[in-house]
Amino acid sequence: MPGSSDTLFIEMAVAKGYLDRAHGEEALNIQTATAGDGASRRPLRDVLVESGWMTKEQVSEISGQMEEGAAKTGRIEGYKLLSKIARGGMGAVYKAEREATGETVALKILPRRMAQKPGFVERFLRESRAASKIRSAYIVRTIDVGFSGGYYYFAMEYVQGESVDTTLSIDSSIAESKALRIVHHIALALRHAGAAGMVHRDIKPGNILVGKDGVARLADFGLARDIQDDSVAQTGVTLGTPNYMSPEQARGVKPLDVRSDIYSLGVTFYYMVTGALPFQAETSLLTMLKHLNEQPVAPITRRSDLSRGCNAVILKMLAKDRDKRYQDASQLSTDIELVMEGKQPKFAETTEPKPEKAAEEAPVNRAEPAHSAEGTHKRGHGRWLSVGIALLLIALVGTMVYVLFFQVTK
């Protein structure tokens, strides 16, 4: 297993354009292979130079930057922090100026307490590595990664706009046309991520940024994994956000694929157009159980002006069985494009919801509670109980009549 310093060295060299990522990963494999049978691990820098993948000067430059970063404290060299944008589980994100270019970036910094734990450092660097593997206008771009002032950091493209989560905190829902455009952009992001062999695993409104240019971009690849890599996503290990988690993700199934991301995007889509989550409970465990066992209320019953095509796309995205969902992001983007053009989707079945079904499932603003399956079940029990009592009374009356008749004739 490579050390955090070796992983950081690779990331910094790739970010500067000194090293191809494939060669960096191969160098780590060579280093690991030479450490067998009790032998000491070969220095990564030696492997890179001897293989001709980096020059001694390039290795010296990166090594020097890492040493300076460890020696200096309290400042990220080369960046001027302007304001804090957000704080998450893996550190704070700042709006910053890259001094060498004057470019405004989003700078994510890992807290020092987490930097002492290799697992956190690896996950932090994995996010920058995952995002940098993908070339897409719909994914937040990684610009730089490094270690300075005692902090691990990476710089990302700064998106001038707001997250879908922020929009929903202000507005109760989003217009269908805008929601379709956002989901279409993220579907394209998933298509590009899939081409790079990546699955995101944490799609939710807070990880979708919509710029002032109207383009939606997918962010936060902290949980992203290579589709073929099961080293973290082991059976029984559940990673993600419960409200947006696919059934197979809740079960700890491995490996996950793009169909899991499509489900999470479907939950986000549902929330955008209805202003409500399809499944929600008091605890994370109960929420996951709902994702596993319950069918969602059709979004068109919550929002009557929703098009049948949009309703059908969302329900197909939310299919419990992943084999019944869109099988890839291309199918999803095709259907969304058709719905945006006012046409019927190709892969999702559109059906006219039955009025009585919609009435049962839609929110009801009446003193009388809406009829439910549970209520029907209880009424059925009530009817049979009444019948049983009536038969018992008839039997008792019959018995009394018989006894009286017998006494009289006697």
pLDDT digits (tens, 9 = 90+) for 12-43: 888 778 888 788 888 888 877 766 555 567 88
Q: Which two tokens stand for residue 117?
A: 């734990």
Closest CA to 127 of 44, 202, 231: 202
> CA-CA distance, 243 to 392, in Å (whole number)?
51
Contacts of 100 (CB under 8 A, 6+ apart): 78
> DSSP state, 199?
E
Query: Could you write out the DSSP letters of every residue in 4-31?
Result: HHHHHHHHHHHHTTSS-HHHHHHHHHHH
How many other C-beta atoms are found inside a 10 Å radius of the C-beta of residue 226? 16
The answer to whether residues 22 and 28 touch, using CB atoms and an 8 Å cutoff, is no
Contacts of 294 (CB under 8 A, 6+ apart): 279
pLDDT of residue 34: 66
pLDDT of residue 106: 93
Residue 227: pLDDT above 60? no
Least confident of 229-243, 318-332, 390-404: 390-404
32 or 391, greater pLDDT = 32
- Binning pLDDT at 50, 70 and 90, where does residue 243 land? very high
Residue 231: pLDDT above 80? no
380 or 138, greater pLDDT = 138
Q: Please identify every residue annotated as catalytic.
A: 202
Q: Looking at the DSSP assignment, which residues form a beta bridge with residue 225?
A: 199
pLDDT of residue 301: 96
> CA-CA distance, 58 to 370, in Å (whole number)?
71
Phi, psi of 268 (to 5 degrees): -60, -45
The answer to whether residues 118 and 4 touch, using CB atoms and an 8 Å cutoff, is yes
Residue 302: pLDDT above 80? yes
Residue 308: pLDDT above 80? yes
- Rounded mean pLDDT, 186-198: 92
Closest CA to 137 of 87, 77, 209, 207: 209
Cis peptide upstream of residue 255 (ω within 30 degrees of 0): yes
pLDDT of residue 238: 46
Q: Which two tokens stand for residue 96?
A: 């910053």
pLDDT of residue 362: 40
Residue 239: pLDDT above 60? no
pLDDT of residue 235: 38
- Rounded mean pLDDT, 98-106: 93
pLDDT of residue 89: 65
pLDDT of residue 37: 54
pLDDT of residue 6: 82
- Binning pLDDT at 50, 70 and 90, where does residue 163 land? very high
pLDDT of residue 340: 98
The answer to whether residues 333 and 187 touch, using CB atoms and an 8 Å cutoff, is yes
- Binning pLDDT at 50, 70 and 90, where does residue 229 land? low
The answer to whether residues 347 and 335 touch, using CB atoms and an 8 Å cutoff, is yes
pTM of whole model > 0.75? Answer: no
The answer to whether residues 263 and 325 touch, using CB atoms and an 8 Å cutoff, is yes
pLDDT of residue 384: 46
Phi, psi of 291 (to 5 degrees): -60, -35
245 by DSSP, 3-state: which?
A: coil
